[in-house]
Amino acid sequence: MDYFDRFAVPHPSPAIYASMVAIGLTVIAIFAGLTYFKKWGYLWREWLTTVDHKRIGIMYLISALLMLFRGGADAIMMRAQLAAPENTLLDAQHYNEIFTTHGIVMIIFMAMPFIMAFMNFVVPLQIGARDVAFPRLNALSFWLFFMGAMLLNISFVVGGSPDAGWTSYFPLASNEFSESVGTNYYMFALQISGLGTLMTGINMITTILKMRAPGMTLMKMPMFTWSSLVANIIIVFAFPVLTVALLMGTMDRLFATNFFTTANGGMDMLWANFFWVWGHPEVYILILPAFGIYSEIISTFSRRNLYGYKSMVGSMVIISLLSFLVWTHHFFTMGQGALTNSIFSITTMAIAVPTGVKIFNWLFTLWKGKIVITTPMLYSLLFIPIFTIGGVTGVMLGMSAADYQYHNTMFLVAHFHMVIIPGVVFGMLAGLHYYWPKMFGFKLNDKIGKVEAWVISMSTLLAFMPMFFSGLDGQARRMYTYSESTGFGIYNMISMVGAVGLAIGFCLIVYNVYYSTRYASRDVGSDPWNARTLEWATHSPVPEYNFAMTPQVNSLEPFWDAKKRGHELFTGYYEKIHMPNNSGVPFILGCIFFAWGFSFIFGMWIPAIVTTIGIFACMAYRSFENDHGRYISVNEIQKTETSRGA
Amino acid sequence: MKIDNSLPLEYSTGQNQANILGFWIFIGAEIMLFGTLFAAYFTLVDRTGNGPTGADIFEIAPLLIETFVLLTSSFTIGLAIHAMRLGKQKAMMAFLGITLLLGLVFLSVEIFEFNHFYHVGAGLQTSAFTAILLTTLGTHGGHVTFGLLWGTAIILQIRKRGLTPETANKSFIFSLYWHFLDVVWIFIFSFIYLKGLM
Ligand code: HEM
Ligand SMILES: [Cu+2]
């Protein structure tokens, strides 16, 4: 292969050329627009260099929504290809690339930043802190995630996308069977964004352990903060496993080592094990913060405190431990013997118990509550039954003997979509509507919101329920077509309808954002939902220092107590507030990491060395920099507070 | 910045305490990282293909030098932190310098050892065993290399700024890092080398 051939699109098609043109035009439009409106300075000062947890949260949010549409486009293409038997919309290779990038984008670059968005935005507010423990590191985390996402997203126009599945099993993912640079993209995109995630994990744990407002003991933390704490602990223990697996996979591909090969002692199953030792905890990293958001919303809109706080915390801790003990259930059929399979079957089914405890706690919160149905609440109420279908089928899959029938069929695909969509996606959308007024100072339209929730949830059922049946009938996952005689056609056609419905639902969200930005009332106050926790005790949108005075906490629901029981949340007087300075280093370092990854992906060793030196240079710069931050004066605080009507 | 003088310098501000806690959590992640490498090592140790086994290639002499040097450096960095607590900047810098020097010796011997492995036919691509051996050792060695750069940066900063809450904090965290690398080496020494030589 000629050197430059590697950069070419592996299987050119009009669609890919069209996307190249579209990407080019969008980039030009963005540059032209920024120049024309003289917004470069604004972009740099307010966003690219920001270290404010709220702005970083909003950037995560925007990225997540963009990636939702990128992954959604993949999904529509897959469903269109499968909608009819022997369809020729996509060829096998193209289909492989699309299901691979769909999985990676949705899990790593949509769901992860979505939870990061809320963890960043909400956690410091919920615990009454000024920012996270390490604001700069936080910015670096974001830029690493973002650059990882960009790397993966350029793959389909520069050199080809990964095509070995989001699980990237070896030996399929080796050079021998995946010749294009696609899998190199996989390795580096995940490695770079994974580093960012690990740093977030460390940052959030430290924040939660060290920076809580006076009086907020661990058992007085709001449930979302608890769920974030547990999820971040899982991150810190799970992500290094992925780091090592990716390192070994990279070495196999770039330096011809024999970790996962089938020659010279290599062991392909080692990859599968490492991948799932990270991968299973990863699904709980995603779901636990979503559970936290549901807990906040359900308690707010049932107008009562959360039922079973202690058992909620306990079940999360148990889930976090068990999540490391079940990974083998992803490959029951790959020959580890009856005893091992049985043990992992039992641990797998055991996880359903604490999950069930949480479901019942939400139900008991609703029971005797005064339920108010708003958009966030509607999403939460729809989540419970649909998620339960996913959970119950998970237990079916967990029985190793039966799994021989279900494994790698559409039944499995139905299972994980039925947990991830109602669990994580509904949770994030509920959070989006719930926290929108805190972020931007106005509510999203409730009528449109409810239509969204119904369209999305019914479409989810329509898209994924048929897969349970076609899977039991034997339709394999990741097959790009099937013959008419199998009879799968009708199931897939229904799924297609559901997929289109989901697309419509997501477009409705965009419409809602547009509509509400134009027409919604800006006069919603700081507590539009009559909520219970600290994040609602400060203004909306939140001033950069969060709280003018540090709140005093006496119970689980200090803000509720302040409203109803005369608890004094803010006592004392204003003092000057210490804030970190903005910094361009995280963004620049992120860009260098992008170039670094790109160089390795294509085996360009000189740029690889140069960028490696660049990375160290940035770190050294940061180490020698003498930056003590700045103070916001009492005067300034007073001005801000009066202008916000305090 | 509120400074609490009843605490040692490295713990004296809220940010410093957060830094130290954060670094402990980072060490937790590092334990997972090396734990995974060890798990891979134990899985692949007998999968030597056509290549040599551990017993074929391990040499006692460099191993003992490495171990001795690294353990001593862990002791000297302990002395450095002790000196720091007493406010003796000169002594502290001297001990830090000795620590880094010992680290450099360790690294040189390790490079020599890698060269030896390569010449007796245990290259990165030889077998799954050699790959995981060199990767595990290399990851540890890479950490030591990073430590040398980091330690040098800290020495320069103390020279310029003296012992402030910030430089003290950095030094203390660096010492945690260095001790941790030592602990990892003890595992490498016992479970990779000694077990391999038996
Ligand atoms: C009630 C608890 C659950 C149980 C018992 C369970 C069980 C299982 C089992 C046994 C498999 C492997 C099946 C096979 O490959 O044949 C599986 C796959 C999967 N599960 Fe679950 N699960 C549960 C909850 C969840 C949750 C909450 C999520 C995500 C938020 C999730 C996401 C996934 C994913 C992504 C896969 C498949 C990945 C792939 O092969 O590409 N599961 N589950
Ligand atoms: Cu699993």
Q: Of the candidates A205, A204, A188, A102, which has an alpha carbon nearest to the alpha carbon of residue A593? A: A188
Q: Which helix (H) or strand (E) holds A385?
A: helix A375-398
Which residues are CB-neighbours of A160 under 8 A, at least 6 positions away? A9, A10, A11, A97, A180, A181, A182
Task: Provide the angle, in degrees to the nearest 10, between the axes of the packed helices A223-255 and B14-44.
Answer: 50
pTM of this prediction?
0.95
Domain with B150 in it: 10-197
Token pair for A423: 């669990």
Decide: A59 and A149 in contact? Cβ < 8 Å: no
Per the listing, tokens 């996979």 go with A249
pLDDT of residue A156: 86
Residues A441, A444: Cα–Cα separation, whole Å: 10
Average pLDDT score over residue span B151-179: 95
pLDDT of residue B183: 97
How many Cβ atoms from other residues are within 10 Å of residue B155's Cβ? 19
φ and ψ of A259, to 5 deg? -70, -55
For residue B108, being part of any structural domain is answered with: yes
What is the domain-level CATH number for residue B88?
A: 1.20.120.80
Interface test with A, best of B3, B19, B27, B32 (most A CBs within 10 A): B32
Report CA-CA distances (Å) from A142 to A48, A56, A335, B150.
10, 7, 40, 24
For residue B1, being part of any structural domain is answered with: no
pLDDT at B22 over 90: yes
Decide: A304 and A370 in contact? Cβ < 8 Å: yes
Three-state SS for A276? Answer: helix
Residue with the smallest CA separation from ligand 1 atom 27 is A419
pLDDT of residue A646: 53
Decide: A269 and A171 in contact? Cβ < 8 Å: no
pLDDT of residue B187: 97
For residue B20, being part of any structural domain is answered with: yes
pLDDT of residue A128: 93
First-to-final CA distance of chain B: 56
Ranges of each domain in chain A: 1-292
Residues A229, A334: Cα–Cα separation, whole Å: 34
The DSSP line for A498-559 is: HHHHHHHHHHHHHHHHHHHHHHS-S---S-TT---SGGGGS-SSPPTTS-SSPPP--SS-HH
Across the interface, which of A206, A237, A264 has its CB nearest the CB of B49? A264
Token pair for B95: 């001990």
Which residue type does B6 have?
S
Residues A522, B35: Cα–Cα separation, whole Å: 53
State the Cα torsion A248-A250-A253-A257 to the nearest 10°: -30
Domain A1-292 has CATH 1.10.8.60: no
pLDDT of residue A183: 95
Q: Grade residue B1 by pLDDT with cuts at 50, 70 and 90.
A: low
CA atoms within 13 A on the CB side of A463: 27
How large is the ipTM? 0.95
Decide: A634 and A576 in contact? Cβ < 8 Å: yes
- Average pLDDT across each block of 10 residues of chain A; the chain has 646 residues. List them in order: 72 78 86 88 91 96 95 95 93 93 96 97 95 95 97 90 94 92 96 97 97 94 97 97 97 95 92 96 96 96 94 96 95 92 94 93 93 96 95 94 94 96 97 96 96 97 96 94 94 97 97 96 91 92 92 92 89 90 95 97 95 96 89 91 76
For chain B, list residues whose CB is within 8 angstroms of any CB belonging to chain A: 1, 14, 17-19, 21-22, 25-26, 28-30, 32-33, 36-37, 40, 43-44, 47-51, 124-129, 131-132, 135, 149-150, 153, 156-157, 161, 170
Would you call A263 and B49 a contact, using CB atoms and an 8 Å cutoff? yes
From A68-72, A463-467, B105-109, B194-198, the region with the lowest mean pLDDT: B194-198
pLDDT of residue A1: 53
Domains contained in chain B, number: 1
Residues A155, A168: Cα–Cα separation, whole Å: 16
Decide: A401 and A372 in contact? Cβ < 8 Å: no
